[in-house]
Amino acid sequence: MGAGAKPSSFKKGEIADICTRHLDVEGEMTTRELAERVMVERDLDISGKPRQTGWHIGSKRSRTGVKTA
């Protein structure tokens, strides 16, 4: 994903549909395994390296951009 590009968005229910399909075939799976399969189906990077999004856990700002204490 190039600089300034928006992350891929999902349609309502799309993630659930992908997970259901994989669980029907594979049986019980961990959350990580399901997440990796969703990402592979959408051609997203599964390297485990965090993407730069402008904010992160532990930052001084909330997701809305409002500064927190």
pLDDT in tens, 11-51: 899 999 999 999 998 889 999 999 999 999 888 887 766 65
CA-nearest of 59, 68, 65, 53 to 5 is: 53
Rg (CA), the chain: 15
CA separation for the pair 39, 50 (Å, rounded): 14
Q: What per-residue confidence (pLDDT) applies to 48?
A: 67
- Indicate the pTM of the whole model: 0.54
Q: What per-residue confidence (pLDDT) applies to 69?
A: 54
CA angle at 22 for the pair 17 and 27, rounded to the nearest 5°:
125
CA separation for the pair 44, 6 (Å, rounded): 13
Q: What per-residue confidence (pLDDT) applies to 16?
A: 92
Q: What per-residue confidence (pLDDT) applies to 1?
A: 45
What does the domain layout of the chain look like in residue ranges? 11-46
